[in-house]
Structure 1
Amino acid sequence: MVYGFNETIFNCFIPITICFLLSVTYVASLYVWKSQHERNHPTTIKQRFFSVFIMMFIAPIFLYMGLSKGLLEKYTLFEIAGLKLQGICQACLLPLVLTMVLFLGPLYMQFLNGFLNTYLDPNYWIENVKNLRWLRNHIVAPLSEEFTFRSCMLPLLLQCFSPITAVFVCPLFFGVAHFHHMIELVRDGINFKTAFLMSCFHFSFTTIFGAYSAYLFLRTGHFMSSFIVHAFCNHMGMPDVSELLTYKGTQRVVIICVFFLGLVLWCYLLNPLTEPQWFYNDYFYNYYTKIKV
C-alpha cells in the first residue's frame, strides 16, 4: 500500500530499486576517473567535485522517474526535493541550533581551550575556503550527499513506507555507499580485516547520522536544514574523548554534566524545534500527521 496517496497499486520494489541504482551511480561517479592518487590528493578532490556536480543534475532524474503521477501533478519537483524559499530562514536556523545543543559538550570544550575564538577570526575562514579538503568536507560532500540521499531518496521511500520507517530505511543507502572507502583503505596498505572493521564503524556512524538528517528533512521539508546540519556535524566530528581525559577533578565532572545536559535538551527539543508548521511543510506535514506510524 502507498502511504498518503490513493494509489494502492504502486509497488515498493520500484522506489527501492531506484534508490539503490541512485546510490550505485553516485559512488560510481567518484571512480570514473581511475585516478592513481589517494582521496586527499588535490587532483582526486577536483575530479570528484566535478563528478558530484554532475550528480546534482542526474539525481533529480531518478527522483522524477520514481514519483507517482498524482504527486507530480500536485507539487513541483523542486518542492518535493525541499528546494523552496518559504520557511527557509527557519530551516537554516532551528535545526542548526538543535544540533548545536546536541554538541553542547564539545562546544563547551572548545570554549575552554579557546578554539571558539578562532571562529571570530576572518583569516580562519579565508584560509579554509582556499583549502580543498575543507571545501570537500564542509560544502561539497554535505551538499551532494544530502541532495542525493535525502532530497532525492526520502520522497521516493515515503510512497511505500510509513514516515518513521522511511527515516530508518533511507540512511541504509547512505551508510552502504560509504563502504567504498574500504577500497581506498586497502589501497593505502591497511589490511582487509582492519579496513572492514573501520568501514563497519563508519557505516554505523553514517547510518545513525543519516536517520537524524532524514528526520530533519521529513519534519522541515527543506534541503537546507539537512545540508547545514551535515556541514556542522562534519566540522565537529566525533567527540574527542581523549581531550576530555586531560581535564581533572571538578572540571572534568562539569564537562561530563554538560555532555549529558546537551543530550537531554536535544531529546526534549527535537520535536518542538522541528514542528512542521513552522516550516510551511505541507507535503511532509501531511505524511507525518495523517499516517499512523
Structure 2
Amino acid sequence: MQEPERGPVTQVEQGHATCWMSVLSCLLLACGYVGSLYVWRSSLPRDHPSVIKRRCASVLLVSALSPAVVKAWIHWADFRVDVSVWELMGVRLAGLVPATILPPLLTMVFYLGPLVHSAMDNPAGFTGELQSALDVQSWRLCVGDAVWLRNQVVAPVTEELVFRGGMLPMLVPCMGPTAAIFTAPLFFGVAHFHHVIEQRRLHKDSMSVILLVSGMQFLYTTVFGAFTAFIFMRTGHVVGPVLCHSFCNSQGLPDISSAMQHPQRSSLLFSYLVGALLFLVLLFPLTDPFFYGAIPVCSLAPPPSSQHKATASRLVRVYTERTQAPDTD
C-alpha cells in the first residue's frame, strides 16, 4: 500500500534534482566562458590585438567543450534522445537555408529606422550604403581587423553556441520552452558584468557610473538574449541567432535621440515606427517551424498536458487505494 504513495514523491525529487543540475550546468558554462577571458594576465586594454587573440582562443576552446557538457548532462539526467548533441545545440542541415536567411531578415526589419538613418546621412544615399556593404576592399580590411573579428565573428559564434545552443537544451526539460527562453538570457546578461572588473582596473569612470552602464548593458543583453533564444527555439538552428547577433553588434543600439534631432525627423521617426511594427507582425510568420522542420531541442520537453494528466491520475489512484483500504482497527 505504500509504493504508490512513494512514486510521485520520488519523481518530484528526481525532477528537482534534474532542475538543479540543469541550472548548475548552465552556471558552469557561463563561469567557464567568462573565466576563460581572465586566464591571460595582462595590463593592456581589452581592444589590444594581443589581448583579443588570446581571449578569442580561450572562448573558442570553451565553446568547443560545451557539447561535452551537454552530453554529460544528458547522460546524468538519463534522457533518451534520437538525435546527436550537435543537433540539439542547433548545428544541423535540415532547414539550414531558411534559418540562414529569415531570422537575419527579421532583425534587419527591426533596424529599418537606423538603416534609413544611415542612408540619409550618407552623401551617396541608399546607393552609397549598398555599394559600401558590397565593397570587397572594405571586407578585406574588416577581416584584418582584430576588433571586427571579435565583435562580428568570434563573439557571436561562441556566445550563441554556449548561451543558446548549450544552455537551452538543458533548461527545456526542466522548465519548458517558454520559461527557458526567458531564463537562459539571465546567464547571458550576468556574464556581461565582467566588464565592471576591467573598467574599474582602468579607472575610466567612477564606480557609480560603471555600475549604471553595466546595469543598462545587463538590461539590453538580456532582452537581446531572449530574442535569440526565441529564434533558436522556433527554428532549432544556432546559425540564425549567430547572424542576428553579428548584425546587431555591427549596428549597436538604435539612436532614437539622434533621430529626434535630425532635419528629416518626421520621415525618419516614421521609418523607426514602421520597422518596429513590421517586426512584430513578422515575428511569428518568419520563425514558423514549418520552414525549419522538426525542432530537435523540443523533443526534450514532454507535453505539459501529459505531465498534468499523469500526476492527476497517480493522485487519484493513491486517494482511491487509501479510502478503499480495509479498516484494521
If the length of structure 2 is used for normalisation, what is the TM-score?
0.82
Flag structure 1 segments of 5+ consecutive residues without an equivalent: 1-6
Deviation at residue 274 of structure 1 after TM alignment: 0.3
Q: Single out whichever of 229-238 and 63-72 deviates more from structure 2.
A: 63-72
Q: Match for 1:70: what amino acid?
A: F
Pick one of 100, 117, 131 that aligns with 2:145. 131
Deviation at residue 152 of structure 1 after TM alignment: 0.3
Secondary structure of the structure 2 residue equivalent to 1:280: coil
How far apart in 2 are the matches of 1:242 and 1:221?
36
Aligned residues: 283
How far apart in 2 are the matches of 1:71 and 1:109?
51
Does 1:212 pair with 2:221?
Answer: no
Matched with 1:22 is 29
Does the CA-based 8 Å contact 2:228-2:241 persist in structure 1? yes
Matched with 1:158 is 172
Residues 68-109 of structure 1 show CA distances to partners (whole Å, capped at 9, x for unaligned) of 43334x221111011101111100100011111111100111
Q: Single out whichever of 274-283 and 256-265 deviates more from structure 2.
A: 274-283
Q: Match for 2:266: what amino acid?
A: V
Residues 137-166 of structure 1 show CA distances to partners (whole Å, capped at 9, x for unaligned) of 000000100000000001100010121111
Matched with 1:3 is none
From the superposition, tell whether residues 28 and 215 of structure 1 become closer, same or farther in structure 2 (CA, over 3 Å). same
Matched with 1:179 is 193
Pick one of 225, 236, 239 that aligns with 2:254. 239
Provide the alpha-carbon RMSD of the alignment: 1.8
Does 1:112 pair with 2:120?
Answer: yes
Q: How does 1:82-93 map to 2 (within 5 A)?
A: 82-93=90-101
Residues 188-242 of structure 1 show CA distances to partners (whole Å, capped at 9, x for unaligned) of 2122111111111110010000000000000000010110100001011011235
Does 1:36 pair with 2:49?
Answer: no
Secondary structure of the structure 1 residue equivalent to 2:174: coil
From the superposition, tell whether residues 276 and 284 of structure 1 become closer, same or farther in structure 2 (CA, over 3 Å). farther
Pick one of 160, 164, 168 that aligns with 2:182. 168
Matched with 2:293 is 280
How far apart in 2 are the matches of 1:51 and 1:184?
17
How far apart in 2 are the matches of 1:272 and 1:91?
13
Secondary structure of the structure 2 residue equivalent to 1:216: helix
Deviation at residue 284 of structure 1 after TM alignment: 4.1
Residues 45-88 of structure 1 show CA distances to partners (whole Å, capped at 9, x for unaligned) of 0100110111122211221122243334x221111011101111
Q: Match for 1:154: what amino acid?
A: L
How far apart in 2 are the matches of 1:291 and 1:279?
23
Of all paired residues, the percent bearing the same amino acid is: 37
Q: Max radius of gyration: which structure? A: 2
Deviation at residue 187 of structure 1 after TM alignment: 1.3
Does the CA-based 8 Å contact 1:276-1:285 persist in structure 2? no
From the superposition, tell whether residues 32 and 88 of structure 1 become closer, same or farther in structure 2 (CA, over 3 Å). same
Does 1:226 pair with 2:259?
Answer: no
Matched with 1:4 is none
Pick one of 70, 77, 80 that aligns with 2:79. 70
Flag structure 2 segments of 5+ consecutive residues without an equivalent: 1-10, 123-127, 306-329
From the superposition, tell whether residues 77 and 86 of structure 1 become closer, same or farther in structure 2 (CA, over 3 Å). same
From the superposition, tell whether residues 287 and 253 of structure 1 become closer, same or farther in structure 2 (CA, over 3 Å). farther
